[in-house]
Amino acid sequence: MNPSSSISVPQMAQAPAKTQPSLEAVRLSKSFLSGVVSIQVLESLSVSLYPGELSLISGPSGCGKSTLLSLMSGLQSPDSGRAMALGEDLGSMSVRALEKFRLRHTGFVFQGFNLFPALTALEQVQLPLGYMGLSAKEALQRSRDALDEVGMSHRSHMRPAQLSGGEKQRVAIARAMAKQPELLFADEPTSALDAESGQRVIDILHRAARKHGTTVLCVSHDPRLVRHADRVLGMEDGSIRSDRRQVAAIKESSI
Ligand SMILES: Nc1ncnc2c1ncn2[C@@H]1O[C@H](COP(=O)(O)OP(=O)(O)OP(=O)(O)O)[C@@H](O)[C@H]1O
Ligand SMILES: [Mg+2]
């Protein structure tokens, strides 16, 4: 699938001065078996991502975006190469250490929201904080703050069935942000949403990067997101083909 030997390596966008990368893919390769055929999805892909930025990996369906996100977040392991997060090699961690690392340092936002039907918005956000060992009082405070930050305080007692798609996604983002993770991963966070809700969601993710210095890695094939990212990496057939920084469009008043 990926005849990348003839592809020239793109010029990488200039790194922010004096900042260490918080996420690094180092010559990552990954293939999957489809029947008896092995499909090479990523081939020796390297990229460094930095704190305080929303980096968007954009590219057509099937080019390997979700695979890259899952390798960089430790959800899957590469066939070869290394995924480094906050200076640590995810591949050298035990299953338990990796679980702990992911609980403590990472937040996830997915296309399908992944909310529990029986829990209120506030309870959805509180739940992982309990697993992290926070006191009930601190978990409650952080959850309220996070819901406030995404403009959902007034819906905190509602269950998913009572919320719109955009509202559900904002609860999912509050749940991820309440953990105060250094690394926030979003896989197609806007593709189930209309344009206006999608814009709100990307603005919230962008603000998380700006305000909290979070490294936000968002993958999407939605071209509407491109102008809202600080850095746009174009992916095709398992390789990064373009990489540019830009002044992102942000609408601070969108909540
Ligand atoms: N667990 C798996 N087993 C077999 N093949 C897989 C698996 N995961 C991904 N693939 C294949 O790898 C390729 C890349 O998949 P991936 O989900 O990373 O693409 P994507 O860029 O995220 O696409 P989309 O925009 O549709 O979400 C696809 O051809 C897919 O079928
Ligand atoms: Mg995908």
pLDDT 10s digits, 151-208: 999 999 999 999 999 999 999 999 999 999 999 999 999 988 888 888 889 999 999 9
Task: Check: CB of residue 248 under 8 Å from CB of residue 227.
Answer: yes
- Of all protein residues, the one whose alpha carbon is nearest to atom 25 of ligand 1 is 61
Whether 133 has a pLDDT exceeding 90, the answer reads yes
Q: Where are the domains of the chain?
A: 22-245
Task: Check: CB of residue 217 under 8 Å from CB of residue 57.
Answer: yes
pLDDT averaged over every residue in the chain: 91
Q: Which ligand is nearest to the CA of 187?
A: 2
Q: What's the CATH number for 22-245?
A: 3.40.50.300
Going by C-beta distance under 8 Å and a sequence separation of 6 or more, which residues neighbour residue 18?
Answer: none
Residues bordering ligand 2, an ion, CB closer than 5 Å? 66
C-alpha–C-alpha distance, residues 74 and 68, integer Å: 10
Higher confidence at residue 250 or residue 231?
231
| Closest ligand 1 atom number to CA of residue 34 | 4
Distance (Å) from CA 80 to ligand 2 centroid: 21
pLDDT (tens digit per residue) in 64-121: 999 999 999 999 999 999 999 999 999 999 999 999 999 999 999 998 999 999 999 9
